[in-house]
Copies of this chain bind each other. A is one copy, B any other.
């Protein structure tokens, strides 16, 4: 590794945010993180989340700064603060109103999933039995997100919806956190068809470290993980690969339940878990927190990737994708 500090970008985290955590992020050498602002919050509730983050940006301005544009990423790097990219894991922040895409972008929502696990007003989620593809409202929203420079994320959406979104969008999409279903079959993972379509349109996939998305779950080894990346790079090209760890540290059980249940179910939905395994999964021994990014770097080197390629995967691919994606047309 050269002396130059590598760019490290994590394409998804949802941790409990406080000074101690931001300090640990800083110590890990991370450059920027896409964090989940909301799961199922309405437009109004999303404003309260923005207000909370504004307060973090005020309190912890020595450690973090908001990314609102491409230029801000560079500013975060030069000012040695962690760049925070706010994103939504569902389209709930726009309620049923097309004009709220631009309003939310203006407020600093940079990335939005068209659905979480369920059917949304825009697209089908990967847990639905029927995948109806992109809805009428969904088409309008894709076009508006393209216009204002809000990045479309299809991590939790179903296959047909994802393929249609890729086709309808005039700009590259991301799947911020998921793995290839060829490596581990799971509703949340993505087929080779999806990965090819995504990357033929210059999209990016962030590899997930969430045990439910990995072969052998919490026992997945770093070698297996790097092997999965190498296989995928051979299929779609290394420039389309990043990391989206899906790291959820220090969060209480009720946050997991909010993620999985929102307000839609009277009975508990266990998502990727089960009634016998209702809590957070056991973390990977080599990815317990953001310092794991450098374990991945080393693992990739050991696997035979060169330094440039390792840098691409742990950060510069995301950097290039974000720089282009955040510009309004």
Contacts and interface: CB of A to CB of B under 8 A. Distances in A.
Interface of A: 43-44, 47-48, 50-52, 54-55, 97-100, 102-103, 106-108
A47 B98 CA distance: 11
Contacts of A54: 99, 102-103, 106
Nearest to A68: B106
A52 B102 CA distance: 11
Contact of A43 (B47, B98, B108): B47
A47 B102 CA distance: 10
Contacts of A44: 43-44
A51 B100 contact: yes
Nearest to A105: B54
> Could you tell me the dominant secondary structure of chain A's interface residues?
helix
Nearest to A106: B107
A172 to B, nearest CB: 23
Contacts of A48: 97, 99
Contacts of A99: 48, 50-52, 54-55
A50 B106 CA distance: 10
A47 B103 contact: yes
A43 B48 CA distance: 10
Task: Please give me the 4 A-B residue pairs with the lowest Cβ-Cβ distance, nearest first.
Answer: A51-B99, A44-B44, A54-B102, A50-B103
Contacts of A47: 43, 47, 97, 100, 103
A149 to B, nearest CB: 14
Contacts of A55: 99
Given A44-B43, A48-B97, A106 B106 contact: yes
Nearest to A54: B102
Nearest to A42: B44
Contacts of A52: 99
Q: Which of A50, A102, A103 has the most CB of B within 10 A?
A: A103
Contacts of A50: 99, 103, 106
Given A43-B44, A44-B44, A103 B107 contact: yes
Contacts of A107: 103, 106-107
Given A52-B99, A55-B99, 9 more contacts: A44-B44, A47-B100, A47-B103, A48-B97, A48-B99, A51-B98, A51-B102, A51-B103, A54-B102
Contacts of A103: 47, 50-51, 54, 107
Contacts of A106: 50, 54, 106-108
A26 to B, nearest CB: 24
A51 B44 CA distance: 14
Nearest to A66: B106
Contacts of A108: 106
A50 B103 CA distance: 7
A281 B158 CA distance: 59
A145 to B, nearest CB: 14
